[in-house]
C-alpha cells in the first residue's frame, strides 16, 4: 500500500505532466475564433460609398477570412489577427459580415451601415473679395455662389455678428461695411444635408472707427437708418454724408445700412439713432430689425425690435409715428 507521501508525490507529478501536455496544445485550436469589427460602427450613416472595414480576430492562426457585403462573399487577408479591407457600399442598407473558420469552429461578427446615394453636399464659393485682400476703405461688395442649394436665404457673419443674406439662383451679392483692421467674413448655409460654410479674412486699412452702426432686417422691405449728429446734421438716405457716412442705402432684401464715423470727423456730443420703416415689398408684417452699434470697436448697442407699420411719405427726419423706432443715444467725448 502506498504511503501518503508517495500518493502526494504521485499526484504532484501527474498534475505537472497534465499541465505540460495541456500547454503543448495550441489553445487557438480549442476555442473558436472571435471576430471584432472596430470600424465602421454598427448603424453608421455614410454619404460616400467608399469605406474601409477594419477589425481583429482572436483565437485564429489563419491568413484569410471571409467578408460578406449584403450576402456576397469576398476573401480578405488577415495578418497577425488584424484585417483591413476597402468596400464600395450599395445605396440604402448594407449588411457587413466577417467570418473566420478554424478547426475549433466558426466565428463571425455582423454590422449594418447605411449609404445615401442621393446626398448632394452644398458648396459655398466666395468669388469676391479674395482671402487676405487689403482695402483702404470700408465699403465692399461680397459676391459668390452656393452650389446644390435650393433656399433663398443664408447667413452672413461679419466679425462674428450674424445677419440674413438673400440668395437668388444660387448666387449672392451683399454690401457689408468693414470695420477698421482685420475682418472675418463667413457665409453659412443650412440644408437638409447639414451645415456648410466658407470663411475668408480681409483687411481694412482705413483709420480706426469711432462709431460703426449697422441696421439689418429680416424681410424684403426698405428700412432706413437715421443718425442725428451733435451739430444738428442728420445723416440719412437723402443726406448720406455728414460728419459720418451712411454706406449702401438698401432698397430691398435684408440690408445692411451702415453708418461709420472716423476720428478725423469726430464731434463730441450725442449721436441719436433712429430707424424708419419706409416700405414693404412682398413679405408680410411685422418685420424684425436689428441694430448693432460699436464705439471704439466695442459693442454698446445690440438691439432687435419689431416694426408693424410702414409709410413712404412720413420719412422726414423730424417725423414721428408707429413707423419709427428710437434705438438709442451714444455719447462721444
Which one of 115, 150, 177 terminates a domain? 115
- Under 8 Å between Cβ of 41 and 111: yes
Residues 100 and 130 in one domain: no
Alpha carbons 94 and 41: distance in angstroms, whole number: 12
What the block records as the C-alpha cell of 77 is 487577408
Number of domains in the chain: 3
What the block records as the C-alpha cell of 332 is 462721444
User: How sure is the predictor about 327, in pLDDT bands with cuts at 50, 70 and 90?
Assistant: very high
Residues 257 and 321 in one domain: yes
Residues 323 and 241 in one domain: yes
Q: What is the CATH number of the domain that holds 305?
A: 2.60.60
Residue 216 domain-assigned (yes or no): yes
- pLDDT value of residue 62: 92
Phi–psi pair at 317, nearest 5 degrees: -55, -20
Residues 102 and 215 in one domain: no
Alpha carbons 37 and 48: distance in angstroms, whole number: 20
Residues 225 and 293 in one domain: yes
What the block records as the C-alpha cell of 89 is 457600399
Q: CB under 8 Å, gap of 24 or more: what pairs does 67-74 form?
A: 67/96, 67/97, 67/98, 67/99, 68/95, 68/96, 68/97, 68/98, 68/99, 69/94, 69/95, 69/96, 70/94, 70/95, 71/95
Residues 72 and 192 in one domain: no
- Under 8 Å between Cβ of 302 and 243: no
Residues 169 and 244 in one domain: no
Residues 235 and 174 in one domain: no
User: How sure is the predictor about 49, in pLDDT bands with cuts at 50, 70 and 90?
Assistant: confident
The average pLDDT across 74-93 equals 94
Structural domain boundaries enclosing 328: 207-333
- Under 8 Å between Cβ of 65 and 83: yes
Alpha carbons 212 and 214: distance in angstroms, whole number: 7
Which one of 153, 180, 205 terminates a domain? 205
Residues 129 and 218 in one domain: no
The average pLDDT across 195-220 equals 93
Q: Residue 18: pLDDT above 50?
A: no
Alpha carbons 53 and 39: distance in angstroms, whole number: 6
Q: What is the CATH number of the domain that holds 143?
A: 2.60.40.10
- pLDDT value of residue 3: 58
Amino acid at each position: 500500500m502506498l504511503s501518503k507521501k508517495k500518493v502526494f508525490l504521485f499526484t504532484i507529478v501527474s498534475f505537472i505532466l497534465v499541465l505540460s501536455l495541456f500547454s503543448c496544445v495550441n489553445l487557438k485550436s480549442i476555442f473558436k475564433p472571435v471576430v471584432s469589427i472596430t470600424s465602421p460602427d454598427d448603424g453608421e450613416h455614410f454619404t460616400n460609398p467608399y469605406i474601409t472595414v477594419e477589425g481583429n480576430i482572436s483565437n485564429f492562426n489563419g491568413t484569410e477570412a471571409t467578408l460578406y457585403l449584403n450576402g456576397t462573399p469576398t476573401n480578405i487577408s488577415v495578418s497577425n489577427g488584424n484585417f483591413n479591407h476597402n468596400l464600395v457600399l450599395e445605396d440604402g442598407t448594407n449588411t457587413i459580415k466577417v467570418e473566420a473558420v478554424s478547426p475549433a469552429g466558426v466565428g463571425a461578427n455582423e454590422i449594418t451601415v447605411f449609404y445615401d446615394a442621393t446626398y448632394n453636399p452644398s458648396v459655398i464659393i466666395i468669388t469676391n473679395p479674395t482671402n487676405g485682400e487689403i482695402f483702404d476703405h470700408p465699403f465692399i461688395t461680397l459676391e459668390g455662389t452656393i452650389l446644390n442649394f435650393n433656399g433663398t436665404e443664408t447667413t452672413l457673419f461679419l466679425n462674428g455678428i450674424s445677419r440674413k443674406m438673400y440668395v437668388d439662383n444660387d448666387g449672392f451679392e451683399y454690401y457689408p461695411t468693414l470695420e477698421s483692421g482685420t475682418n472675418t467674413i463667413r457665409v453659412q448655409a443650412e440644408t437638409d444635408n447639414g451645415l456648410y460654410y466658407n470663411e475668408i479674412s480681409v483687411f481694412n486699412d482705413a483709420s480706426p472707427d469711432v462709431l460703426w452702426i449697422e441696421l439689418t432686417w429680416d424681410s424684403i422691405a426698405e428700412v432706413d437708418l437715421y443718425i442725428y449728429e451733435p451739430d444738428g446734421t442728420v445723416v440719412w438716405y437723402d443726406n448720406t454724408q455728414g460728419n459720418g457716412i451712411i454706406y449702401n442705402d438698401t432698397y430691398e432684401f435684408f440690408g445692411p445700412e451702415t453708418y461709420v464715423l472716423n476720428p478725423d470727423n469726430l464731434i463730441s456730443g450725442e449721436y441719436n439713432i433712429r430707424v424708419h420703416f419706409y416700405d414693404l415689398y412682398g413679405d408680410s408684417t411685422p418685420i424684425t430689425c436689428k441694430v448693432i452699434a460699436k464705439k471704439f470697436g466695442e459693442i454698446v448697442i445690440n438691439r432687435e425690435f419689431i416694426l408693424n407699420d410702414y409709410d413712404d411719405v412720413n420719412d422726414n427726419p423730424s417725423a414721428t409715428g408707429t413707423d419709427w423706432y428710437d434705438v438709442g443715444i451714444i455719447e462721444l467725448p
